[in-house]
């Protein structure tokens, strides 16, 4: 039997990069979508100043994402309005807000079923130019649905409130 030469045993090893590129693109799309959805919770506004305000802990916020509803109360566009209430970019009136919070409260476990106390937490982010009446609507909707774990967002940075226009 004849011996085979070393040249016969050489194999050309090629690495197929197509699956790796596919995975990288899928991860890129996933993170783009997730970052876009998380940006819907916090809308651009000027929060009122609070000297005891602390920045949120990112790890704790990520852990509490389930069971947390962020409600944004924006400054009104109409002077007869108290404010614009939005959840994840969707504008809600008083009744729709109550329905949304009722559904959210029913989706998490109850702390006390007899007294109807929910474990759901609500973070209220109110613009410093909205009227308190709009924030009170949010508090009322929470209370009606047994949600008592509420927080109000504030800014540790002082921003002077806008001055009303002077008439001449």
For the stretch 129-157, pLDDT in tens is 888 899 999 999 999 999 998 888 887 77
Reported as a single tens digit per residue, the pLDDT across 6-46 is 565 566 777 888 888 999 999 988 887 776 655 556 666 77
Residue 97 is predicted with a pLDDT of 93
Q: What is the pTM of this model?
A: 0.64
Q: Is residue 49 part of a domain?
A: no
The number of domains in the chain is 1
More confident residue, 18 or 166: 18
Q: How far is CA 155 from CA 56, 75, 89, 131, in A?
A: 11, 16, 21, 17
Decide if 69 is inside a domain. yes
CA 97 to chain centre: 16
More confident residue, 93 or 43: 93
Cα–Cα distance for residue pair 104/98, rounded to 1 Å: 10
In a domain, 40, yes or no: no
Angle at Cα 158 formed by Cα 157 and Cα 159, nearest 5°?
115
Q: List the domain range (segments joined by +) for residue 92.
A: 58-152
Q: Given a cut of 70, is residue 101 above it in pLDDT?
A: yes
| pLDDT tens string 67-90 | 788 899 988 888 888 888 998 888
Label residue 111 by pLDDT band (50, 70, 90): confident
Give a yes or no: residue 28 inside a domain: no
Determine, yes or no, domain membership for 78. yes
Q: Is residue 18 part of a domain?
A: no
Q: What angle do CA 47, 34, 42 make, to 5 degrees?
A: 10
* Structural domain includes residue 111: yes
Residue 103 has pLDDT above 70, yes or no: yes
């Amino acid at each position: 039997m004849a011996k085979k030469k070393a040249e016969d045993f050489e194999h050309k090893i090629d690495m197929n990069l197509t699956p790796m590129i596919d995975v990288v693109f899928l991860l890129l799309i996933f993170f783009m979508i997730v970052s876009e959805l998380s940006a819907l919770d916090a809308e651009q506004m000027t929060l009122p100043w609070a000297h005891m305000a602390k920045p949120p802990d990112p790890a704790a916020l990520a852990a509490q994402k389930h069971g947390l509803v962020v409600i944004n109360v924006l400054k009104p566009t109409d002077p007869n309005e108290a404010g614009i209430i939005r959840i994840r970019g969707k504008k809600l009136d008083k009744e729709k807000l109550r329905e949304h919070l009722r559904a959210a409260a029913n989706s998490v476990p109850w702390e006390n079923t007899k007294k109807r106390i929910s474990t759901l937490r609500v973070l209220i982010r109110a613009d410093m130019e909205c009227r308190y009446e709009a924030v009170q609507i949010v508090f009322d909707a929470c209370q009606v649905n047994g949600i008592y774990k509420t927080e109000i967002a504030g800014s540790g940075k002082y921003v002077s409130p806008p001055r009303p226009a002077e008439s001449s």
